[in-house]
Amino acid sequence: MTDPLLQIEGLTANAQNLEILHGIDLTINHGEIHAIMGPNGSGKSTLANVLAGHPQYRVTGGRVLFNGEDLLAKRPDERGRRGLFLAFQNPEAIPGVSVVQFLRQALSNRTGVDLTVLELRLKVMDAMKALGMSSGFADRYLNEGFSGGERKRNEVLQMAVLQPELAVMDETDSGLDIDALKTVAEGVNRLTGPERGFLIITHYQRLLDYITPHFVHILLDGRLVESGGPEVAARLETDGYEGIRQQLGV
């Protein structure tokens, strides 16, 4: 029996001395897609940042195992090299660094293999073609002047090239129009498989209309209050978060 890909046990965390996560328990196995849904301020992005090792957040209890190893004991760069990827809600622009330059360095850090510029460019072009992206995208400066949809597609391109074992997507659907949403969802669906897990963090069901999760979890006030299949998201769409609060008495 193999270890779960990600195992979170009793995780508590705070930021600026304010407790945000109150005992999160979650297990993700290889090949699974999990969605966490919750309103603003529920702790969704805090969970994503804690997993990635953001220094602003302090873990106060519990443990997180990634492929059986203590994730919390590792630096953020070590977590990335081990195969953890965070797709940001608002990716930063890096003027002067092209997409292909960024990917070459990131892939070298991830795999320890230095591809030539030509090898990397061919790899990136193959990934961009599969994602339906223009070839000129590779030479643009990272996220500089990108639309919201282009920034999110660039995150999916990074996943396609870096091939992480666990992709944490923090509100990737935020600010996307329907066409960009479909493009991002199609890219994620191409990357799913038995060797990889996804943790998709979102406000709304609309992304889950195009990506079918195995499990859906509702996060309220820093606690996972309900878990189930896609029917949980459908019920949430009907009843809203306040309706769920009333039903569960939380």
Put simply, whether the predicted model's pTM sits higher than 0.85 gets the answer: yes
Q: What would the DSSP string read from start to end of 46-111?
A: HHHHHHHT-TTEEEEEEEEEETTEEGGGS-HHHHHHHTEEEE-SSPPPEEEEEHHHHHHHHHHHHH
pLDDT beyond 50 at 114: yes
What is the number of domains present in the chain? 1
Mean pLDDT, residues 228-249 = 90
Map tokens 């666990």 to a residue: 166
Number of residues that this document lists for the chain:
250
212: its two tokens: 């079918």
CA distance 184 to 207: 9
Note the pLDDT of residue 51.
Answer: 97
Each residue's pLDDT tens digit, 171-186: 888 778 888 888 889 8
CA nearest neighbour of 128 among 117, 114, 139, 141? 139
CA distance 27 to 4: 7
Give the whole-number percent of the chain exceeding pLDDT 70: 99
**Domain membership flag for residue 17:** yes
State the CATH number of the domain containing residue 135. 3.40.50.300
**Domain membership flag for residue 76:** yes
Mean pLDDT, residues 180-196 = 88
**Domain membership flag for residue 93:** yes
**Domain membership flag for residue 1:** no
Write out the residue range of the structural domain in which residue 154 sits. Answer: 6-248
26-40, 125-139, 220-234 — which is least confidently predicted? 125-139
Per the prediction, the chain carries an average pLDDT of 91
**Domain membership flag for residue 166:** yes
Mean pLDDT, residues 7-35 = 96
Q: Is residue 182 a contact partner of residue 173, using CB atoms and an 8 Å limit? A: no
What three-state secondary structure class fits 36? strand
Q: Is residue 179 a contact partner of residue 147, using CB atoms and an 8 Å limit? A: no
Residue 96 dihedral angles phi and psi, to the nearest 5°: 90, -10
Give the whole-number percent of the chain exceeding pLDDT 90: 54
Note the pLDDT of residue 1.
Answer: 41
What is the bridge-based pairing of β-strands 223-228 and 215-220?
antiparallel
**Domain membership flag for residue 29:** yes
